[in-house]
Structure 1
Amino acid sequence: MRDWMAEARQVHADAVVLDMHADTPQRFVDEGWAFTEKDLRGGHLSLPTALTGGLDGEFFAAWVEPHEWAGQYAERTRALIDGVHAQASVGAMRVCVTAQEVLDAKAAGQFAALIGIEGGHSIEGRLELLEEFYARGVRYMTLTWSNTNEWADSSGDVARHGGLTELGGDVVRTMNRLGMIVDVSHVSDATFWDVMKVAEGPVIASHSSARALTKAPRNLTDEMMRAIAESGGIVGINFFPAFIDEGWRAAWNALKPERIQRHKDVAQAFRERGEAIPFHISDGVDREFTAKIGRAPFRSLINHFLHALEIVGSEHVGIGTDFDGIPEPPEGIDSAADLPKVTAALLEARVSAEEMKKILGGNLLRVMDATGR
């Protein structure tokens, strides 16, 4: 009987393994938590878990909660970016801006820290902020989060623009000029198709799964996946149960009124003090409600990988865990240490080792090479 886990660990050792999206920077800034700590303190990603799971690098997302940080988007973005650089300063990891630097970090035994921005509201409608953030090491931007911003509609909000505005087109063109990867996770369908008309070179969805399997508006249709593949880009499969399991999504949505009230109750003390609500506080509320539903099946996650592979092939699929930005991954995935389980399941499903090396990180290195300046 084949030992799929042993084979998976060998594939990880031979590959450059990169996750396309984690929200860990807010932990650095708000919780004073160090990436090198052994105690995850409720998180999903740390240097020890990355080493155990054979994860060589991470795109750390600078995500600014749009309501809590209204009027301070750029300032908060700077703080999150600085938080990644501060973690790298201790030497266990290095900030990388090119594919070659990622390879050099792995060769030196260092974790590769890559930086993305999640939500175009971070640039406050100012193209010069793209230049600044690029200079600080940002190499992708997710055009929207769950909020519609000044120049692009989100899948999680009311559409105000009918897609991408003229300024939005300028944002995409500026990103292309700089060498910053365009990320369409979270955008509305109309925004997606407008982006595909404007963008040059590879477009990614850093953390989105398949709408054919789970009907979340955040997920991609097969047609969208094909368009991303035609651009030379990547679909990074998200691990959040509401995006990978239709039954779990329905249960989560049914609890929405109760969740909203609980969030309001928890927020009251912070509101009275005029303080932003830290993510780990609101995340704690969501964890209370995920516990009521239970874990999503591990197989649901694997099915999304297999569906994407069927639609666009191994050259255009990646990993976009959304670690530290979701309350609970599916069963069997407690942290980055468990990533070889995904590889083992895909190997057992007859995805080859060479195909896995592309999925695990080779595709992202290719896109970075194609986009970088």
Structure 2
Amino acid sequence: MSVVDAALRAMPVIDGHNDLPLALRARTGYRVTGLRERPELQTDLSRLRAGGVGGQFWSVYVPSDLSEPDAVVATMEQVDAVYRLTAEYPEELAIAYSARDVERALSAGRIASLIGIEGGHSLASSLGVLRSFARLGVRYVTLTHNDNTSWADSATDRPGVGGLNDEGRAIVAEMQRIGVLVDLSHVAETTMRAALAVATAPVIFSHSSARQLTGHSRNVPDDVLVRLRDNGGVCMVAFAPPFVSGQVAEWLAAATEQWQRLGLPPAKDEWTRAPRPGEHLPSSLPAAPATSAFGLPGVPADAPEPFRAWLTAHPRPEATIAQVADHVDHVRAVTGIDHVGLGGDYDGCDRQPIGLEDVSGYPRLLNELGQRGWSQADLEKLTGRNILRVLQAAEDAADEILWPRSPAG
């Protein structure tokens, strides 16, 4: 048995971020049937198994430009989709509220399904909404998405409150009081530092890579990684090509500049409405316009002719497994082996690195790391032991546990 096979048998992958609920909303109106094989998606049950995935934080993302009341409703619909998904495949999936629930699901050969809210706008600045989501099993909240909230600054918006204001610090404190992980992916550097300054329990980056290797605003600077180590948290390295490849990041910047030079309107991800009561949607909806998560069309055919001509002359470069491994290695070098994990961001990007095109690719990444000298014990920490430790630490530090307890818990 290879080192990779042994590591995955001992500790399957617990991935920090997957946008399947959003993809189901866009493509099937939240219909959860037929997911054993869905080749048009980056995630299905067969490929999760092939990839050695034993736990998944399902992202319940809604756009940050929705009004906050609308965002709360839409996030509830996303949470409902996760519950319906696990109910449809009870032999494959199990809702997990705690570290012990994850271990119990792994022992039963099921994929532990955890829930993470991607953006503090989904809380509508309400601690009551936060606590209600915690009772439904939400285990992390990303403080912002691409836009600021009134209390926290995003990495991709203009500075608003200088990181966190008093309201933001109170939200972070309440999250840690009830054992909900603070997720610092998507937030500004100032917000990262402000949250770490007040954190009393480990925090996470659910899907971010290393700023030292790729100068993208969504990545984590080394000084923040050092503070994350001291906090006891974990950085779950994202696979998104602009985060791991300088060439892709440079191409994206050039494409954005060309788009603006042509005077074209800003491209935005399509937010497909949810089905209304009594409405019967077709089994498959047209895919939403292929705008990437980075604000540009992901499919040339959907772009205006002048921009398609530019794309033909400037083909998009590809990211590689080796580049992802470089980011994993770098986070390990800065933080130590106990503070690195994986957050693939599948079905949240229009394409992924070569060899990591879908959720079956994790073993190929682990094989690359194994060839670089990672031991079985090292790989087990990366795949799941580190994030399980952080989950347990958050529970241990909580004053009040709100999510449902399993009968044996």
Fold conserved (TM > 0.5)?
yes
Aligned partner of 1:357 among 380, 387, 392: 380
Q: Is the 8 A contact 1:19 1:321 kept in 2?
A: yes
Output the amino acid matched with 1:287: G
Matches within 5 A, 1:1-373: 6-32=2-28, 33-34=31-32, 37-67=35-65, 71-90=69-88, 91=90, 92-257=92-257, 261=264, 264=267, 280-283=288-291, 286-288=297-299, 292-372=315-395, 373=401
Q: CA RMSD in A?
A: 2.5
Separation (CA, whole Å) in 1 of partners of 2:94 and 2:50 = 19
Query: How far apart are 1:298 and its partner, in Å?
Result: 2.3
- SS for the counterpart of 2:289 is helix
Higher helix share: 1
Q: Is the 8 A contact 1:94 1:105 kept in 2?
A: yes
Output the amino acid matched with 2:60: A
Separation (CA, whole Å) in 2 of partners of 1:323 and 1:288 = 17
- SS for the counterpart of 1:157 is coil
Are residues 368 and 41 of structure 1, via their aligned partners in 2, closer, same or farther at CA, if it must alter by over 3 Å? same
Query: How far apart are 1:9 and its partner, in Å?
Result: 2.4
- After TM superposition, the structure 1 stretch with the greater mean CA deviation from structure 2, 200-209 or 42-51, is 42-51
| Corresponding position of 1:273 | none
Matched-pair identity in %: 29
Query: How far apart are 1:43 and its partner, in Å?
Result: 2.1
- SS for the counterpart of 1:117 is strand
- SS for the counterpart of 1:18 is strand
Off by >6 Å, runs of 4+ in structure 1 = none
Output the amino acid matched with 2:359: A
Separation (CA, whole Å) in 2 of partners of 1:42 and 1:19 = 21
Query: How far apart are 1:120 and its partner, in Å?
Result: 0.3
Q: Is the 8 A contact 2:6 2:376 kept in 1?
A: no
Are residues 266 and 168 of structure 1, via their aligned partners in 2, closer, same or farther at CA, if it must alter by over 3 Å? closer
Separation (CA, whole Å) in 2 of partners of 1:11 and 1:286 = 38
Separation (CA, whole Å) in 2 of partners of 1:257 and 1:70 = 31
Output the amino acid matched with 2:4: A
Residues 113-158 of structure 1 deviation map (CA, whole Å, 9 limit, x = unaligned): 0000000000111111100100111000110111111100011001
Query: How far apart are 1:75 and its partner, in Å?
Result: 0.3
TM-score by length of 2: 0.83
Query: How far apart are 1:190 and its partner, in Å?
Result: 1.1
Output the amino acid matched with 2:54: D
Residues 308-352 of structure 1 deviation map (CA, whole Å, 9 limit, x = unaligned): 111111100000111111111111111111110111011110011
Residues 135-189 of structure 1 deviation map (CA, whole Å, 9 limit, x = unaligned): 1110001101111111000110011111101110110000011100011111111
Separation (CA, whole Å) in 1 of partners of 2:287 and 2:219 = 23
Output the amino acid matched with 1:121: H
Number of residue pairs the alignment of both structures matches: 363
Residues 243-297 of structure 1 deviation map (CA, whole Å, 9 limit, x = unaligned): 1111110001111155573765997x99xxxxxxx98434476431599404212
Query: How far apart are 1:29 and its partner, in Å?
Result: 3.0
Separation (CA, whole Å) in 2 of partners of 1:288 and 1:7 = 38
- After TM superposition, the structure 1 stretch with the greater mean CA deviation from structure 2, 286-295 or 15-24, is 286-295
Are residues 183 and 279 of structure 1, via their aligned partners in 2, closer, same or farther at CA, if it must alter by over 3 Å? farther
The structure that has the greater radius of gyration is 2
TM-score by length of 1: 0.91
- SS for the counterpart of 1:139 is strand
Q: Is the 8 A contact 1:286 1:327 kept in 2?
A: no
- After TM superposition, the structure 1 stretch with the greater mean CA deviation from structure 2, 98-107 or 293-302, is 293-302
Separation (CA, whole Å) in 1 of partners of 2:79 and 2:250 = 35
Separation (CA, whole Å) in 2 of partners of 1:320 and 1:339 = 11
Q: Is the 8 A contact 2:17 2:345 kept in 1?
A: yes
The runs of 5 or more residues in structure 2 that have no matched partner are 274-285, 301-310, 396-400, 402-409
Output the amino acid matched with 2:56: E
Query: How far apart are 1:107 and its partner, in Å?
Result: 1.5
Residues 35-69 of structure 1 deviation map (CA, whole Å, 9 limit, x = unaligned): 76244343222211110111101001111112256
